[in-house]
Structure 1
Amino acid sequence: MANNCQPRVFIGMPVYNGEKHIRETIDSILSQTFTDFQLLISDNGSTDQTGEICREYAERDERVVYCRQKENLGMAGNFNYVVQPNGADYFKWAAHDDTLEPDYLLKCVELLDSNPSLAMAHCLTNRISDDSTWLEIYKDLGLSSSRVSERFWRVLWTVNIYEIYGVIRSEAIEKTRPVGTFFGSERNRLAEVLLQGDIGYLKEALFSRRDHESSLTALHLDSKENDNFTAMQEAHAPKAKMSSIQVAVLKLNEYFESIFRFPMPWSERISCVGILLEWSVRRLLEGSSEKYRVKLYSTAESMMKIPEPSKLSA
C-alpha cells in the first residue's frame, strides 16, 4: 500500500496491558489476504511490555501505527480515540486478544461492496480459551433483520454483542455518538449503527473471541457485588463515578434519543419506542431488588430472560 493512498479498511485497536495475547492478534491481522488496511494501536498507558511489542510491529510494517496515550483514558476513551477512518471505506474495532482467520477482511469487504444497503458485516464467532484452545462456535440471537425495529429488539436482548468487532461502513460509524462514559455503552453505539442499516453475516466462523480471567467480560460474568460493578465502571471510564442505577438511566435515555436520530418510517419508530419501554420495564423489575441490581447487565442473567419477540406491525 502506497503511503499516499487511503486504505480501504481502517482498524482501531485499543489496548491496556495486553502483552500476553497481542502478538497473536496482530499476526492474525497482518496475515489477512486482504491487505489494503491500516492498523492504529492506541496504548492506554500499559505498564507491561505491550508498548515494546507494538513498536516492533510498527517499525517493520508501515500499515501499523502505534500511539501511546499520556494517561489512561479508560476503555470508552480509548475505543473512541481509535475511530479515525480518515477516508477509509470501512472501519473495524479490534480487541487486543481476539484473532481473525486469514480471509475475514476479504470476505467482509466483498459482502459490503456487493450489498450497499448493509451498514456492517461480520461472521460466526469462535470462543477460544486463554491458550487459544477452541471451545465452541458461539450461538446467539443474531442481529440481522430487514426491519429496523427487530434489529433494535435484537441489540437490546442478545447476550453478547461480538458484532461490535465487525466491519462497519465508515459513514455509519461516523454518524453514531461516541461510546459513552457509562458501562455497557458500546451496545448503544452498535444500536445506532443498526438503526441505519442491516448487518450481513458470513456463514463461517472467521472471528475468535478469547475467554480469559483478566478480560472485562469475565469480570462482568463474575459480578456479584457492588464493588465489582464499581470496578467495571472504573475500567470503562475512570473519571465517571456512577452507580448501576445511574448507568441504567443514562443507557435508557440514550437509546430513546437514538430512535429519533436516524430516518425510518414512523411505524418503525413507534415500534422501537414500544420495544424500548418493554425492555426497560423488564430490566427495572429485575433490578428492583439488591440481588438483581448489580446484575442489571449480567450476560448470564440475560441469557435466561430473553423474551419472545414482540409482534411487530406489518
Structure 2
Amino acid sequence: MAIPSKEVPVSVCIPVYNGALHIRDAIQSILNQTVIPQEIIVSDSGSSDGSENIVREEACKAQATLIILPTKTRGMVANWNSTIRAASGKYVKFLFQDDLLHSTCLEEMVKVAESDKRIGLVFSPRDLFVEPSVEDDWITRWLQQHQNLSAGFGNLKISQPGSLLLRSPDLLEQPLNKIGEPTAVLVRRDLFDKVGLFNENMRQLVDMEMWVRLMATSHVGYIPAA
C-alpha cells in the first residue's frame, strides 16, 4: 500500500477501556487509511489489561500527532467526551476499540462533509461482525434487524436537512437509532460547542440522542454502501 501524504483535519478519537484484545487491529485500520488524520486522541478509562501500552506501541507508527490523555476512571460516556474536549481538528471521528475503519473511510467522509458547508454530521453503513464461536438465534435476528439502519430513512441523498430526517414517518420504528454507533459517524467539531457533549446521565440510546440534537441543527451527509 502506498504511504498516504495528504492530511485531513480530523481528530480520530479512541476511548479505551480494557481493549487489549482488539485495540491493535483498530489502530492498524487508522494506519491503513488513504489519508493522514490531523491527530489521534486516546482516552483510557483506567484499563488493567495493558491497553495503553499497546496504543503507545502502535499509534506512534502513525504520521498523525498522537495525544494520550492522562489515565483516569471516567465511565463510558465521560470517556467519549474527554476525547472531544481534547480535539482540535475541524472534524471528530470516533473509533471504538473493537471497531475497524475501511481504508478509505476518512477520505470519503471528509469529501462529503466538505461538499456542503451546511453538513455537520456524515454517516455511512457499517458491517457487523460477531466472534465465529458465537451461535445464538437472538443475535442472528438482531444482526438482521440492525445491519442496514439507514433503510428506515428511505432514499437518502449525499446531503439533506437533518430536520427532514427527523420528520421521517418511520423515525420511531425499530431500530430507533437509524444513524449507527459513533464509529459510523463524522461530526464537525464546532457543533459540539453548539449542542453540547454526549449526555453522561443517560445509560441507553446515548448516541441516538446526540444524533437527534445534531440533525436538528445541521444538514446530514450520507455515504451509500459501495
1:65 aligned partner: 67
Letter in 1 for 2:23: I
Cα deviations across residues 156-199 of structure 1 (Å, max 9, x unaligned)? 54434425331111122221222222212332222111111132
Q: Equivalents in 1 of 2:194, 2:37: separation in Å? A: 24
Letter in 1 for 2:192: I
Tell me the TM-score normalised to structure 1 length.
Answer: 0.56
2:176 aligned partner: 159
Question: Is 1:193 aligned to 2:195, yes or no?
Answer: no
Q: Equivalents in 2 of 1:155, 1:28: separation in Å? A: 32
Distance change (3 Å), C-alpha of 1:55 and 1:188: same
* Cα distance, 1:41 vs structure 2: 0.9
The runs of 5 or more residues in structure 2 that have no matched partner are: 1-6, 133-142
Question: Is 1:148 aligned to 2:166, yes or no?
Answer: no
Distance change (3 Å), C-alpha of 1:199 and 1:147: closer
Distance change (3 Å), C-alpha of 1:142 and 1:85: farther
**Which segments of structure 1 move beyond 6 Å, counting only runs of 4 or more?**
none
2:47 aligned partner: 46
Q: Equivalents in 2 of 1:30, 1:18: separation in Å? A: 18
Q: Equivalents in 2 of 1:73, 1:183: separation in Å? A: 14
Letter in 2 for 1:192: R
What is the total number of aligned residue pairs between the two structures?
A: 198
2:191 aligned partner: 172
Indicate conservation of the 8 Å contact 2:91/2:186, yes or no.
yes
Percent identical among aligned pairs is 24
Q: Equivalents in 2 of 1:182, 1:106: separation in Å? A: 32
Indicate conservation of the 8 Å contact 1:152/1:194, yes or no.
no
Q: Equivalents in 2 of 1:176, 1:8: separation in Å? A: 21
Higher share of residues assigned helix: 1
Map 1:1-314 to 2 at 5 A.
8-61=9-62, 63=64, 64-70=66-72, 72-84=73-85, 86-130=87-131, 138-140=147-149, 141-142=152-153, 146=161, 148=163, 150-151=165-166, 157=173, 158-160=175-177, 161-162=179-180, 164-165=182-183, 166-180=185-199, 181-184=201-204, 185-204=206-225
- CA root-mean-square deviation: 2.9
Work out which of the two has the higher radius of gyration on C-alpha atoms and give 1 or 2. 1
Tell me the TM-score normalised to structure 2 length.
Answer: 0.76
2:135 aligned partner: none
Q: Equivalents in 2 of 1:203, 1:26: separation in Å? A: 24
Distance change (3 Å), C-alpha of 1:15 and 1:156: farther
Indicate conservation of the 8 Å contact 1:85/1:170, yes or no.
no
Cα deviations across residues 127-182 of structure 1 (Å, max 9, x unaligned)? 11236xxx879112249653616426666544344253311111222212222222
